[in-house]
Structure 1
Amino acid sequence: MFGKLLQHSFRIFILSAKSQARSSARVRRYGKMSKPTIYLTRKLNSAAMKRLEEQCVVELWEGPDPVPRETLLSNIANKKGLCCLLTDRIDQEVLDAGTDLKVISTMSVGFDHLDLPAIRAKNIRIGYTPGVLKDATAELTMCLILATGRRLMEASKEAATGGWSSWSPFWMCGMGLLGKTVGVVGAGAVGSEVMRRVKPFRPKDLLYVNRTPRPDLEEELGAKQVELDELLATSDYVVACTSLNSDTQEMFNEEAFSKMKKTAIFVNSARGGVVDQDALIKALENETIGAAGLDVTTPEPLPLSSPLFKMKNCVILPHIGSATYTTRYAMAMLAVENLICGLKGEEMPEELKAK
């Protein structure tokens, strides 16, 4: 009897062990299945990576440069989500390769690198990172305004190469902001912050061009909404802060530059595509305008052979508008949260919705 009892207990133990094993196997499989696989086109900071890896199976391009096109196409298959940068062109070809994509999250406020109609045709949700970079970009825009107007780069080079022989009353004179007219094209998040930073320099007038009036800026800063032609003709500084779209593509062209003052300073911290760059080069060479300060160009990086690098009246920066540690970390975390929330079917912190 004791033998039968022992045999029965052993059989129960074996069945229980098999059941637990099956249960454990189900948990492990469920754990893998419950984490969607995503592709990341550039490694982010440690906090953003940790958050992403908690919620997703992450595959990524670890190179310092943008992911090669063929690498992106070959790795996007079977991915539920994509976290990309403005250097990654996400078009029909990518979407055809990534047939399982549910969410695309870009670590940028601009979205001209995304084929929006093609993405929306596939009901793929889109996250982006506006707001968090407006202050850093506005600060950098002010740097360009001052550096270009006061000829800082040119003066620094003179000091470093022996051109500075003595103090001279009219040597290296430039244009300040006091009593000048500053025109901002695009009074959105960045443009409005640029105007707020310009105001303490006591300009004569603050003008802006925008699709809709900004009564808040008019009341707060005394800004005035005008038509583009008036802004171009009357501004001492013309500052491009507009987004790039079909309406703004190369809006600063030969005709636009011809309407500006010969002493006008053109500053672009928006997108290179809002400028006809050949027309800008011509305007600077022919002294149609006074100078230009650029954080963005076409293409990027700008080839070293570009005539712009040879001009004393042109300041060029390598697209560093949002390049502060605080801002870039915030952008990374927002891009990650957009992706995670989108994959869960939840509301994104910042979703780019069709208008």
Structure 2
Amino acid sequence: MFTSRVIRQSSRLTRGLYLVLVQRCTAQLFSSMSNMPKPKVYVTRRVPQEGLKVLEPHCEITQWDSEKPVPRAELIQQVAGKDALFCLLTDKIDADVLDAAATQSVRDGGWGTWDPLWMLGQGLEGSTVGIVGLGRIGMAVARRLSPFGVSKFLYSGHHPKEEANEVGAEFVDFETLLGKSDFVLGCCALTKENQGLFNKKTFSKMKSNAVFINTSRGGLVNQEDLYDALKSKQIAAAGLDVTSPEPLPTNSLLLTLNNCVVLPHIGSATEKARGAMSALTGRNIMAFLRGEKMPCQI
């Protein structure tokens, strides 16, 4: 029997629906459905009934039943302990919301007696971090990682950079970086030359325990090849803040993997960063109107 709890009532349907999986992928949920309580789904708005009918036989649904956005505090409160989030493109799904959802293992009893292998991952201490593109962003990442005990930074690009000395980074060719790095970070600008740079051939040259991180652009990666590399354990894991396309379709095979974390392009999602972006845009406009060179020109 379908269980539904509706918070508020209103009329009118809302367009632009999409589903964000919070912690467990759909395949994992439904494959073990008979041996566990019904998964809990939070719906952030009044939506067409077709979507709910798909979920009703299998899930316990909580819904904000209004044409107006769910209040921020309500969203954060309701998402805690949920297995999936049915939300809109206009809903702000950021670190606070994801953090609230991530407490699920504690709330639903997944945190049991101490297990030395539970949720085990690699640490940065003593590791080799390879940065593809040691530009402004690549250097900023290296500076932030240094205090975590990274043993060595490697970087590849067109030529050595003097600023690399600040973090003791060594300039190597791309293949050497792939073969020696425990963490491989894509931080370069996307160009015609490096479109699909990370592909089947690239992943085959990485260590089996390597973690691939992409904060550049989705086009830097052949996502089908990445899926194959992760599925076959050719590499250990991946973290993506950018995908192609964006938003990533909810039927993407990457979302079925428990060794791939996908974020909705929130690398600049801080008040300071977004404020600086806004101010820079304003300065660009004013410089153009005055016939001056824009501070940040493409």
Q: TM-score range by the shorter chain?
A: 0.5 to 0.7
Deviations 1:129-148 (A, max 9, x none): xxxxxxxxxxxxxx9xxxxx
Shift in Å at residue 212 of structure 1?
2.4
Does residue 234 in structure 1 map to residue 234 in structure 2?
A: no
Q: Which amino acid aligns with 2:248?
A: L
Task: State the distance in 2 between where 1:314 and 1:157 align.
Answer: 18
**Residue aligning to 1:279:** 225
Please tell me the residue identity of whatever aligns with 1:247.
E
**Pairing partner for 2:113 from 163, 166, 182:** 166
CA offset at residue 156 of structure 1? 5.0
Between 337-346 and 182-191, the greater mean CA deviation after superposition: 337-346
Give 1:332's aligned residue.
278
Tell me the equivalent position of 1:321.
267
Q: Distance in 2 between matches of 1:161 and 1:224?
A: 46
Q: CA deviation at 1:342?
A: 1.6
Cα 1:259–1:323 shift into 2, 3 Å: same
Shift of 1:341: 1.3
Q: Following TM superposition, by how much is the alpha carbon of 1:217 offset from its aligned partner in structure 2, in angstroms?
A: 1.6
Q: Note closer, same or farther for the CA distance 1:262–1:155 as it changes in structure 2 (3 Å cut).
A: farther
SS at match of 1:255: helix
In the alignment, is the contact (CA less than 8 A) between 1:262 and 1:288 conserved in 2? yes
> d(CA) in 2 for partners of 1:189 and 1:153?
32
C-alpha spacing 1:325/1:194, structure 2 compared with 1 (3 Å)? same
| Structure of greater relative contact order (alpha carbons < 8 Å, 6+ residues apart) | 1
Deviation at 1:347, TM superposition (A): 2.0
Deviations 1:3-38 (A, max 9, x none): xxxxxxxxxxxxxxxxxxxxxxxxxxxxxxxxxxxx
Identity %: 46
1:182 corresponds to which residue?
A: 129
How far did 1:236 drift?
Answer: 0.4
Paired residue for 1:192, among 136, 139, 150? 139
Shift of the 172–267 alpha-carbon distance from structure 1 to 2, 3 Å rule, reads same
Matched to 2:215, the amino acid is S
CA distance in 2, matches of 1:334, 1:309: 35
Q: Aligned Cα RMSD in Å?
A: 2.3
- The aligned counterpart of 1:132 is none
Query: If the length of structure 2 is used for normalisation, what is the TM-score?
Result: 0.64
SS at match of 1:293: strand
Show the counterpart of 1:255: 201
How far off is 1:290 after superposition?
0.3
Q: How does 1:53-68 map to 2 (within 5 A)?
A: none
Q: Secondary structure at the match of 1:164?
A: coil
Partner SS for 1:239: strand
Alignment partner of 1:303 is 2:249 = yes
- The one of 217, 242, 247 equivalent to 2:164 is 217
Gaps of 5+ in 2: 1-15, 17-94
Alignment match of 1:268 (pick from 208, 214, 219): 214
Distance (whole Å) between structure 2 residues aligned to residue 312 and residue 156 of structure 1: 17
**Contact kept in structure 2, 1:294 and 1:317, CA below 8 Å:** yes
Aligned position for 2:47? none
Deviation at 1:340, TM superposition (A): 2.5
Which residues in structure 2 correspond to 1:8-157 (within 5 Å)?
A: 156-157=103-104
- TM-score, normalisation: structure 1: 0.54
Q: Which has the larger radius of gyration?
A: 1
Which deviations, in whole Å up to 9, do the C-alpha atoms of 1:275-330 show, x marking residues without a partner?
A: 00111111111111000000000110001111111211111110011111121121
| Partners of 2:260 and 2:100 in 1: CA distance | 9
Q: Which moved more, 1:301-310 or 1:225-234?
A: 301-310
